[in-house]
Amino acid sequence: MMAREILARLVAFPTVSSASNLDCIAFVSDYLSRFGVESRLVPSPDGSKANLYATIGPAVRGGVVLSGHTDVVPVDGQDWASDPFRLTERDGRLFGRGVCDMKGFDALVLAAVPHMVRAPLKRPVHLALSYDEEVGCLGAPAMVAEMAQRLPPPAAVIVGEPTRFAVVNGHKGSLSFFTRVRGHSVHSSRIDQGISAVMVAARLVTWLDDVMASNRATADVASPFAPPYTTLHCGMINGGTAANIVAAECTFVSDIRAVPNEDPWSYKARYEAFIREMVEPSMRAIAPWAGVDVTHRSFVPGLRPEAAGTAEALATALVEAGRTEVVSYGTEAGLFQQAGWSTIVCGPGDIAQAHQADEFLEVAQFEAGEKFMAALIGSLCG
């Protein structure tokens, strides 16, 4: 199968995070088996999804991990010019959900498998495909942990998120959590006897914004990140039942995106201390059962630039531009780096196309990816 044919097959699987990816994983497993490559599955706790990893070449140290995810974001509410789950070419671009983020890279890796099998590899290639990257990198941790136990340590990990083949050696970490405010409902004319969960939630959201404003004011102007400081954000909020009823409950979801030299958990600890010390005492003076619950949602560790990193050296030698940069979005790269493996992010396409209607991957980028794979295989034979 040619790379574009494989991409068409991958795009046809509607692997949105709310659905199973098992059909897609079964296709990949069957494809690999045709070339004598055995794959291992790491299922989700409920068995509805799975990660897959496989090794091609000798079982020795110093190989390269090629990492991608199989899930895509939904297309609901987006105006597409063509079927998002059917690969379509127009004006030098390949359209379809996930072509850029990141089934294009997955297809390039799979298309290179027969070449890897035939090549006299002196070091192995490890393939790693995960589930639920888009909702907080939920699948990859179990896969990375098992790979670290079973595989000879690789020299480099390349996470193929869209960078237009720039070598990304750093990105922010992300910590996300839910906040539930439990108030005391009364008629709004006697709010003095109640606790508005909505107004308490607004106070907490304002705390997040105030801390971010302080970070902005003290940001390191030499930081390569955009923005050059840790951000705190509330993405969704819901609460209350009527204009004249003091809200009994309000919930919202937040995320903290920290520059690599800062710990997002420390911000969460400050947030929870503010709740305990400044918010809950006055609430419980009115209603002892009132309070605030903070529940973990997801954590994606940041990627730190490495001094003399082997992954960066390898990738910059393989791509024509050879430039390095950092990004503010998160990937699974930090998970591999935490396992002790040198890691970078480098792949086809532009992150600006990710999650958009009419998501596309330029044909030229896809073809550059084929050259990238050929050069990587050559490097592992030398």
**Residue 292 and residue 182 in contact, taking contact as beta carbons nearer than 8 Å:** yes
Domain ranges of the chain: 3-171+302-381, 173-299
pLDDT digits over 166-193, tens only?
999 999 999 999 999 999 999 999 999 9
CA–CA dist 356, 178 (Å, integer): 26
Instruction: List CB contacts of 174: < 8 A, sequence separation 6 or more.
Output: 136, 255, 256, 257, 258, 264, 298, 299, 300, 330
Residue 250 has φ and ψ, to the nearest 5°, of -150, 135
Q: Which residue in 184, 232, 224, 183 sits closest to 207, CA to CA?
A: 232
Distances (CA, A) of 32 to 38, 111, 127: 7, 10, 10
| CATH number for region 3-171+302-381 | 3.40.630.10
- How confident is the model over 32-82, as pLDDT tens digits? 999 999 999 999 999 999 999 999 999 999 999 999 999 999 999 999 999
pLDDT at 260: 87
Pair type for strands 93-95 and 88-90: antiparallel
The angle formed by the CA atoms of residues 292, 207 and 273, to the nearest 5 degrees, is: 50
Do 248 and 196 form a contact (C-beta atoms < 8 A)?
no
Tokens (6 digits) for 66 = 């090629």
Q: Give the tens place of pLDDT for each residue, 9-37.
A: 999 999 999 999 999 999 999 999 999 99
Which pTM value belongs to this model? 0.91
- Reply yes or no on whether the pLDDT at 261 is more than 90: no
Select from 53, 173, 144, 150 the least CA-distant residue to 341: 144
CATH of region 173-299: 3.30.70.360
